[in-house]
Amino acid sequence: MEIKVFNIKGTETGRIVNLDDTVFGIEPNDHAIYLDVKQHMANARQGTHATLEKSLVSGSTKKLHRQKGTGGSRKGSIKSPLFRGGARVFGPQPRDYNFKLNKKLKKLARISALSYKVKESNLLVLEDFTFDSPKTKNFSELLKSFQLTGKKTLVVVNSPDDNLLLAARNLKRVKIVRTADLNTYEILDAKQVLMTESSIPEIVKIHQN
């Protein structure tokens, strides 16, 4: 599959790169994508939620009144879940939501997400670039060239330099990621994926091993 290469001003360079069909042109596997995104979101959960069970609630354990003869129901402790200020029944407790996935499945999910972006024409290839100074204005002009101002944009590079990272740092809807750190969630979450020309063979290498 061939795709045009653009410069940071949004114009065609006249060059074309070939996207490997085994990475950018497969039939997407929706279930693999679902599992990988589910894992990403689960691993991001803190799991620090906690409620007070009966043994943790402050209060007397003295029986409120005698068992029989009052005409009312039986009551053991003021800490009962039936009373206001009492314990919580089967409430959430701190836990770890992390779970593991097979590496091959995660690779399948990533290339499925990349294939979706190519099918939807939401993946562009840029010639390798850098900025002379770490100015947000430089990156804003790049986004403006592709009509991406205010849109979620994922920029994939081999090894971003400091100027590039600092120029994009203040743009809330822009994220720069190295090819080695690319994940399914960020690919799908972005409206547009911008890849540098040198990152393409590296991505193919990672996902064909």
33-72 pLDDT per residue, tens: 999 999 999 999 999 999 999 999 999 999 999 999 999 9
Residue among 167, 155, 158, 82 nearest 131 (CA): 167
Mean predicted confidence (pLDDT) in 65-86: 92
Write the pLDDT tens digit of every residue in 100-131: 999 999 999 999 999 999 999 999 999 999 89
Domain borders along the chain are: 2-45+97-208, 48-96
State pTM to two decimals.
0.84
Q: What is the DSSP string of the chain?
A: -EEEEE-TTS-EEEEEEEPPHHHHSS---HHHHHHHHHHHHHHT---------TTTS-S--S-SS-SSSSSS-----TTSTTSTT-PPTT------------HHHHHHHHHHHHHHHHHTT-EEEE-----SS--HHHHHHHHHHTT-TTS-EEEEESS--HHHHHHHTT-TTEEEEEGGG--HHHHHH-SEEEEETTHHHHHHHHHH-
Domain 2-45+97-208 has CATH 3.30.70.141: no
